[in-house]
Structure 1
Amino acid sequence: MTHHRSIRLTLAALTTATGLGLSLSACSPDTGAAPATSDPVPPPAPTTTAASPVDIAREKATAAYLGMWEDVAALANTSDWKSPRLADHATGDALSVLSRQMYADHYNGLITKGEPVHKPVVQSVEPQDAPKTVMIRDCSDASNWLKYRADNGQLADNEPGGTHLINAEVKLAVDGSWRVTRFAVEGTGSC
């Protein structure tokens, strides 16, 4: 093997080993001796950056929005309009709309089976320095979330489910939690 090729192989090995955190300072290309190793150097700690108030608000508001719909889907199986769970992620107008709709279904002998699929996107966070309001836009798919008659399990109507545009306002409550305060659901096929 030529001296130049030996140096190139050693440099390639050094480059690879250096990337793995190994020390090859005792390696001699002419003697063919095995490289001396020392304790591996631990990899540098990943840099962590604190999440900004906007990022935290986005995350918590989105979780509250999705939590509200999870609660509604679970309670709609029995149209339990009295459940305190409705208030876990909703308040104000949103809570009033949900409980009224659930009561109307209960009164009319209807239940809702399945679950909607949500794709929420945060539209705005205000104010930027200390967020208190997050606006969310969602294209919810209710194709598999339909109303049935509670007495016989038959579909309540012949209307298929579909996609619905939902705009929601989520606010920071005095107890530090985020809750949906109002929302508007557009007609089937609106997104």
Structure 2
Amino acid sequence: MNLRPAVRITIASSAAVVLLGGCSATEPRQPTASSSASATTSVAPRPADLAKQRATAAYVGMWSDMADAAMTSDWQSPKLAQNATAEALQTISRSLYADHYNGLVTKGRPVNHPSVQAAEPPADPTTITISDCGDSTNWLKYRADNGQPADDGPGGHRRIEALVKKAVDGSWKVTTFAVHEVGSCSG
């Protein structure tokens, strides 16, 4: 490299300041803004925040599992029990069995917009109430034998309420949910 003498001195001085600026033989090193910020991001989430995240993931997972099983109306899919239990699992299984019995399958996927409405007890929740404005516009029933649309009406935005509970093994599962008529919310 062929740098002029003034430039060499400036570079060398800058490097020495950077190298020596962080070290001192007599003073302890003070945290910089960047090290303080990284320490903040490594703090474990609060139990309430973690519970809300996990309950919401279970809720969205339930709908995803149901959409997967609905492609063939597989009411016995083991995936259904991953995120749903009790009344919620029974409702899903019965619905899929009815579709199977009637020769229907469901194509597409629901779109969910869940939000946590309540968490009990507040500090370390074991029960989360979720509200959603689910969109079934592109998640419709078709005849399995010929692929023609079933006459079950158009999809749309529906208000959904769900109760998600922490299981004994620490997992979160939807225990019950209610889906209202098309147009009961606006997405």
* Map of 2:165 onto structure 1: 171
Return 179-188 or 35-44, whichever deviates more: 35-44
2:114 pairs with 1:129: no
2:183 pairs with 1:189: yes
- Kindly provide the amino acid, as one letter, of the partner of residue 106 in structure 2: T
- Greater Rg over alpha carbons, structure: 1
- Structure 1: how far apart are the matches of 2:97 and 2:107? 16
* Map of 1:4 onto structure 2: none
2:113 pairs with 1:119: yes
Correspondence list, 1:70-109, <5 A: 70-109=64-103
Q: Is the CA contact 2:86–2:176 (under 8 Å) kept in the aligned structure 1?
A: yes
Correspondence list, 1:29-108, <5 A: 34=10, 36=13, 37-38=15-16, 39=18, 41=22, 43-44=34-35, 46-47=38-39, 48-108=42-102
Q: Is the CA contact 2:141–2:152 (under 8 Å) kept in the aligned structure 1?
A: no
- Structure 1: how far apart are the matches of 2:179 and 2:154? 16
Structure 1 spans left out of the alignment, 5+ residues: 1-32
Higher helix proportion: 2
2:104 to 95, 106, 110: 110
Q: Is the CA contact 2:157–2:182 (under 8 Å) kept in the aligned structure 1?
A: yes
- Structure 2: how far apart are the matches of 1:158 and 1:105? 11
Q: CA deviation at 1:158?
A: 6.1
Q: Is the CA contact 1:91–1:180 (under 8 Å) kept in the aligned structure 2?
A: yes
Q: CA deviation at 1:49?
A: 2.5
TM-score (norm 2): 0.81
- Kindly provide the amino acid, as one letter, of the partner of residue 114 in structure 1: G
Fraction of identical pairs, as percent: 55
Q: CA deviation at 1:105?
A: 0.3
- Kindly provide the amino acid, as one letter, of the partner of residue 67 in structure 2: A
Q: Is the CA contact 1:53–1:128 (under 8 Å) kept in the aligned structure 2?
A: no
- Structure 1: how far apart are the matches of 2:64 and 2:102? 22
1:45-95 deviations in whole A, cap 9, x for unaligned?
512322111100000000000000000001100000011111010000000
* Map of 1:20 onto structure 2: none
- Secondary structure of the residue aligned to 1:44 is helix
* Map of 1:180 onto structure 2: 174
Q: CA deviation at 1:130?
A: 2.2
- Secondary structure of the residue aligned to 2:154 is coil
- Structure 2: how far apart are the matches of 1:174 and 1:75? 26
